[in-house]
Amino acid sequence: MRPRRLAIYREALRHSSVNNAGNAEKGIADNERLEFLGDAILDAVVAEMLFMRYPMKQEGFLTEMRMRVVNREQMGYLANRLGLLQMMDLKPELLKHPSALKSIAGNALEAIIGAVYLDHGYRKAKVFITQRLIGQYLDLDKLMNTTVSYKAVLLKWAQQQKKAIEWKHSTDTHGRKDLHVVSIWMDDAEMATEKNLSRKRAEELCCEKVCRKLQIQD
């Protein structure tokens, strides 16, 4: 698959750190818009892939697997395998910050996916994601057997960011059984709510929603 519109790939590899008013006036954009598009395409492709690969699994499993595939760690790893950082247009000072580079590289990969979609359409973007990325570099069965505690991930993040998390618990009668209703609040805003027969499971599902919403990954 050869690029046909080189300009959008150059844009996908241009970090916002090198953009300025002069570039904006010349119509030279950074990769943030393409990242937004690529993120949506990536989510759709991975959701379809998991839906087809695991026909007997329910929504909770599919959501968890999608988060294990589409997160900062995996995107940074895949971008590193493709050598995207070496091709990027970004300020040299950023190369001194490894933690930031992981996010920068992962975001660039999503922008590249957006560029492939605009250049070749959804079908080719799907092939690029499923064969060139996931099929070549990720082991889904290994990811499936990896245990993730989203509550631990969220609490660690909140401590690092000095965010106060408020838990609200209640019960909701469902038939002859009471469901545990768990809500997570942050900065006076409700972040997520889940119901489950198990309070522990409701908390974990709630934390998973917040982690995905805020793109938090250990």
Which is catalytic among the residues 11, 35, 64, 110?
A: 110
Which is catalytic among the residues 11, 30, 35, 39?
A: 39
Angle between helical axes of 59-69 and 32-53 (0-180°, round to 10) = 140
What stretch of H or E contains 194?
strand 189-196
Q: What phi and psi values does residue 67 have, to the nearest 5 degrees?
A: -70, -30
The span from the CA of 172 to the CA of 187, in Å, is 25
178 classed as catalytic:
no
The span from the CA of 46 to the CA of 131, in Å, is 12
Which token pair is 112? 């590249």
The span from the CA of 201 to the CA of 128, in Å, is 35
The span from the CA of 37 to the CA of 52, in Å, is 23
Is residue 29 classed as helix, strand or coil in its secondary structure?
coil
Is residue 193 classed as helix, strand or coil in its secondary structure?
strand
Is residue 195 classed as helix, strand or coil in its secondary structure?
strand
Q: What phi and psi values does residue 152 have, to the nearest 5 degrees?
A: -65, -40
DSSP state of 92: G
39 classed as catalytic:
yes
Q: Which residues are known catalytic residues?
A: 39, 110
